């Protein structure tokens, strides 16, 4: 670092400055430069302003850094700024460039609310998500984060404020939801850091403060000995006919609830043929792979009944809801009405089917493929198609087995 020798200002006083000397400086007809040390000097302008300047060299070029005016910036603070600039130079950084970037970040941050950054993040990510998942995330964002921080400058939000918002979710006993909302908040703040809208992600300081999630309970599943009574109750169910058929379809195919609720007629091919498949698109599958479900004759009959009730809807199970199909709880509440509260869940049908099919010595790979469990390998992708004939025979057996339970006593089924 070197003193600036190329100036039109009158350079006086080679001794370090003092507050007394600074107060005594008077304006002249032209600027007066009074040096302190290490390139730091004060420039007294003809209008009486006293401006701190730091002269230095960076990559062979003479440069000048403004440090404010005296007495707003004291002699002590000006020297501290000079020392900070020296540290930057020793690390190969240009203090002037660092100052410009700091001002730019402050200017950008001042104009960015949490809402604007969150919307920008969401718009950039939603192309990766299926529509139903994007809708769920948008509601989560609107209800739990934008309601708290929407119009706040994102750079002003402190860790304790984020924790308070997450605590409100925990107080609803939604422990897992609280964790997911925190993950979303972190993604938004990190997007803000990347776009210079905020300096850091405050959620990093509170991750250890969340309540521990309780040990997950296994979803209730029917045993083989309980199935006869269940299929009889289902056959006699006096609630909404479309709900009864939805339960029947999921019992015969053991697909996931989400895969069933949003099923469209366009996914079913050749229902008049001998071996029609249900082709569930990858976007609705948990593993993001297209899934083929061979349809047994009993299932085709069920689909024909559904068609009569669904009318001209593109969906099998239309309903006047926001998603235009039956809700997540429609089938579960039907189970409650049938007397299966805490005894059975829709997802539990998958475990019931898996257990019984394994007990009857069906190929384990067929069962896993039909459950759409992925190994994460190329082998699993190709074998899902190769095992289709075996899965078709297995599902025909399964549907016949379920139909037989209407007449066979429970103690003869194992």
Q: Give catalytic residue positions.
A: 256, 286, 347, 350, 373, 382
- 141: Cβ contacts below 8 Å, ≥ 6 apart: 118, 122, 184
H helix runs in 157-296, sequence order = 159-170, 175-194, 227-235, 241-253, 257-261
Element (H, E) at 3: none
Helix 241-253 × helix 330-337 angle, to 10°: 100
Separation of CA 167 from chain center: 18
Bridge partners, 153 (sequence order): 113
Tokens, residue 164: 């308070």
Q: Are 64 and 54 in contact (CB under 8 A)?
A: yes
Distance CA 229, CA 26 (A): 102
349 class by beta-carbon count within 10 Å (0-12 exposed, 13-18 middle, 19+ buried): buried
Phi/psi of residue 267, nearest 5 degrees:
-85, -10
Q: Which of 106, 105, 56, 50 is nearest to 85 (CA)?
A: 56
Please tell me the number of Cα atoms within 13 Å of 304 on its side-chain side: 11
Please tell me the number of Cα atoms within 13 Å of 34 on its side-chain side: 24
Please tell me the number of Cα atoms within 13 Å of 181 on its side-chain side: 26
Is the link from the previous residue into 71 a cis peptide, with omega within 30 of 0?
A: yes
Separation of CA 363 from chain center: 37
Bridge partners, 293 (sequence order): 278
């Amino acid at each position: 670092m070197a003193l600036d020798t190329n100036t039109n200002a009158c350079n006086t006083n080679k001794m370090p400055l003092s507050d007394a000397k600074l107060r005594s400086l008077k304006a002249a007809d032209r600027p007066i430069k009074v040096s302190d040390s290490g390139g730091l000097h004060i420039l007294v302008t003809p209008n009486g302003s006293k401006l701190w300047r730091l002269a230095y060299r960076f990559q062979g070029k003479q440069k000048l850094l403004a440090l404010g005016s005296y007495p707003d910036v004291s002699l002590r603070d000006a020297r501290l700024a000079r020392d900070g600039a020296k540290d930057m130079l020793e690390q190969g950084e240009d203090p002037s460039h660092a100052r410009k970037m700091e001002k730019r970040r402050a200017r950008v941050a001042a104009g960015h609310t949490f809402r604007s950054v969150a919307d920008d993040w969401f718009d950039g990510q939603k192309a990766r998500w299926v529509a139903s998942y994007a809708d769920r995330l948008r509601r989560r964002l609107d209800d739990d984060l934008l309601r708290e921080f929407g119009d706040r400058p994102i750079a002003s939000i402190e860790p304790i404020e984020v924790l308070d918002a997450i605590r409100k979710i925990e107080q609803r006993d939604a422990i897992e939801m609280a964790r997911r909302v925190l993950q979303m908040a972190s993604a938004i703040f990190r997007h803000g850091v990347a776009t210079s809208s905020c300096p850091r992600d405050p959620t990093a300081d509170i991750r250890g403060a969340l309540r521990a999630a309780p040990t997950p309970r296994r979803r209730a599943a029917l045993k083989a000995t309980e199935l006869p009574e269940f299929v009889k109750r289902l056959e006699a169910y006096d609630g909404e006919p479309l709900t009864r058929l939805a339960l029947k379809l999921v019992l015969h195919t053991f697909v996931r609830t989400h895969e069933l609720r949003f099923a469209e007629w366009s996914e079913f091919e050749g229902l008049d043929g001998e071996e029609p498949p249900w082709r569930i698109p990858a976007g609705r599958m948990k593993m993001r792979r297209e899934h083929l479900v061979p349809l047994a004759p009993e299932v085709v009959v069920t689909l024909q009944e559904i068609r009569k009730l669904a009318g001209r809807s593109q969906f099998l199970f239309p309903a006047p809801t926001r998603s235009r199909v039956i809700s997540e709880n429609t089938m579960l509440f039907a189970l409650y009405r049938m007397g299966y509260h805490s005894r059975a869940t829709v997802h539990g049908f998958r475990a019931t089917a898996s257990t019984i099919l394994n007990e009857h010595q069906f190929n384990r790979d067929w069962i896993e493929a039909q459950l759409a469990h992925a190994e994460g390998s190329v082998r699993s992708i190709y074998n899902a198609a190769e095992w289709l004939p075996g899965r078709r025979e297995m599902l025909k057996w399964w549907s016949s087995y379920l139909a037989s339970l209407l007449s066979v006593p429970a103690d003869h089924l194992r």
